[in-house]
Amino acid sequence: VAPPAAGIPVLRGTAAPTSTQPAVNRNPLVVNISARHVHLTQEHVEILFGKGATLTPEKDLYQDGYYAAAETVAVVGPRRRMIPNVRVLGPCRDDSQVELAFTDGISLGIDLPVRISGDVSGTPGCVLMGPRGVVELKQGVIRAMRHVHMGPADLEYYGVVDKSTIHLRVESPGCTTVLEDLAVRAGKGIKLEVHLDTDEGNAINLDNATKVELVKAEPCKCRH
């Protein structure tokens, strides 16, 4: 069962043993479940929480400089279906965005497109309700594509480049699974971290995983 939306731990996951290959100048592989959350512009923060309001950091996330804020909003979909207490993540962004799991979309009545975070052009909108105001988003509601954050040393180690893909193999009791096509998102100062949504994490029994490893996608060698 997915964690309550209001729970401060926006990330839940594992740092289970990786492959036996030596890890030199690399971060350990961490796989986290990213629960439903909202990113806001400063303008929208002030509309929702009052003039002059800023986000209140409450819990640091795994990546340096990012945090779960004390603030939450209600996400309202078509026909007034609502998910309350959705956590806001900081710092503020240039565009507001709502990231939900597939089952959240069903609950709200929104057909969620799978997108890389930040790619919101042409996506559905919703209404955000805060204690001091309401924001109507014309677009920005997505299901985040599963992805892995990598720094330069990680890219070199795994032999991949930014915007390519890689597979994730997860060993868990009775549920060993390979998730294909994780998008690679690269940057300096980034820790090696996989992000899955709650549906994906629950489906592979991530909480009880005993081993996780990234596997480079290889071209098919079959003779057709």
Q: Is 145 helix (H, G, I), strand (E, B) or coil?
A: coil
Question: Which residues is 56 bridged to in the sheet?
Answer: none
Q: Taking a C-beta distance cutoff of 8 angstroms, is the pair 168, 194 a contact?
A: yes
In order, the DSSP letters of 162-199 are TT-EEEEEEE-TT--EEEEEEEEEE-TT---EEEE-HH
| Cα–Cα distance measured from residue 195 to residue 155, given in angstroms and rounded to the nearest whole number | 17
Q: What is the pLDDT along the chain (224 residues), one digit of tens a residue?
A: 333 333 444 555 666 444 444 445 567 999 999 999 999 999 999 999 999 999 999 999 999 999 999 999 999 999 889 999 999 999 999 999 999 999 999 999 999 999 999 999 999 999 999 999 999 999 999 999 999 999 999 999 999 999 999 999 999 999 999 999 999 999 999 999 999 999 999 999 999 999 999 999 777 667 76
Q: CB-based burial of residue 189 (10 Å sphere; 0-12 exposed, 13-18 middle, 19+ buried)? A: exposed
- Predicted local confidence at residue 212, as pLDDT: 96
The residue ranges of every structural domain in the chain are 11-33+146-216, 36-144
Helices (H), the chain: 42-49, 102-108, 152-158, 198-203
Question: Which residues is 38 bridged to in the sheet?
Answer: 88, 98
Q: pTM, whole model, 2 decimals?
A: 0.86
Out of 1.10.3470, 2.60.120, 2.40.40, 2.30.30, select the CATH number for domain 11-33+146-216: 2.40.40
Q: Is 105 helix (H, G, I), strand (E, B) or coil?
A: helix
| Cα–Cα distance measured from residue 169 to residue 215, given in angstroms and rounded to the nearest whole number | 7
Tokens of 84: 């309350």
Tokens of 190: 């980034």
- Predicted local confidence at residue 25, as pLDDT: 58
